[in-house]
Amino acid sequence: MKNKVVLITGGSSGIGKACAFAFGKAGSKVVITGRDQLRLDEVAADLAAHNIECLAVAGDVSNETDVQRMISETISRFQRLDILINNAGISMRALFEDLELDVIRKVMDINFWGTVYATKYALPYLTAAKGSIIGVSSIAGYRGLPGRTGYSASKFAMQGFLEALRTELLPKNVHVLVACPGFTASNIRNTALAANGQVQGESPRDEGKMMTAEEVADHILRATIHRQRDLVLTFQGKFTIFLNRWFPSLADKLVYNHMKKEKDSPFK
């Protein structure tokens, strides 16, 4: 990772911020993006205090023009791009029958289209570097989660896109990694959208019992170094995928009952 240039979308908190430190400490130059300039500047200052060279670029990944500018500023500063980590994401929680469709559009715009835009405009530089494209997905990209239809759809779409792209890029030796962390302690549940599009606020799960963002970032770093194609974390995540593949009807019931137990569950 020495002197590699890494661009991380959604880099001001959670897994994105943890990846900035993990890759930076491994010797990379880091570009972080996000919508909140103040938070980006705070993280950039913290990175600099750890002797990590960093560029903070404010922008919205669901805005194609913003993404073009993110890539342009990265190349202007560092003249190259080796690794793209598509981490920016948003979740939602509501029954589909109660859901305003704009919620799904917003989730798709950020989680799926944000990945498409960033990958499209970064691809010439990543191809030149024979670099890595990383999608931070979810177990919800393998197994649809009740109460999270829009989120599951966005992660299935991301994984299908990256799988197809990986195959297209085989002759060019560009590495594509799909990372599925499982439930991770971050703010994604706090910022999840409710049925009416308002931010949920309080997390419905015990964040203290989850894998930390720093642990996830360390796994992603190692998977990038070894150019793995897939990364599935936590026993619960691996077991869910196994059940869904071999015992799908049982998985339906177990997943439903598990999600039903969440605090303030939308299930009646």
Question: 151 is in which domain, residue-wise?
Answer: 5-241
Do strands 29-34 and 54-58 pair parallel, antiparallel, or not at all (unpaired)? parallel
Active-site residue (options: 117, 121, 125, 151) = 151
- Sign of the Cα pseudo-torsion (121, 109, 70, 156, in order): negative
Domain assignment present for 220: yes
User: Is the model's pLDDT at 207 over the cut of 70?
Assistant: no
Domain assignment present for 53: yes
pLDDT at 186: 59
Nearest residue to 217 (alpha-carbon basis) of 11, 69, 2, 4: 11
**Residue 151 among the catalytic residues:** yes
CATH of residue 199: 3.40.50.720
Domain assignment present for 252: no
Domain assignment present for 262: no
User: Is the model's pLDDT at 57 over the cut of 90?
Assistant: yes
Domain assignment present for 246: no
User: Is the model's pLDDT at 204 over the cut of 60?
Assistant: no
What is the tally of structural domains in the chain? 1
Domain assignment present for 253: no
- Determine the Cα–Cα distance for residues 268 and 261; give it in Å rounded to an integer: 11
**Average pLDDT over every residue of 8-13:** 96
Q: Pick 25 or 181 by higher pLDDT.
A: 25
Domain assignment present for 214: yes
Domain assignment present for 260: no
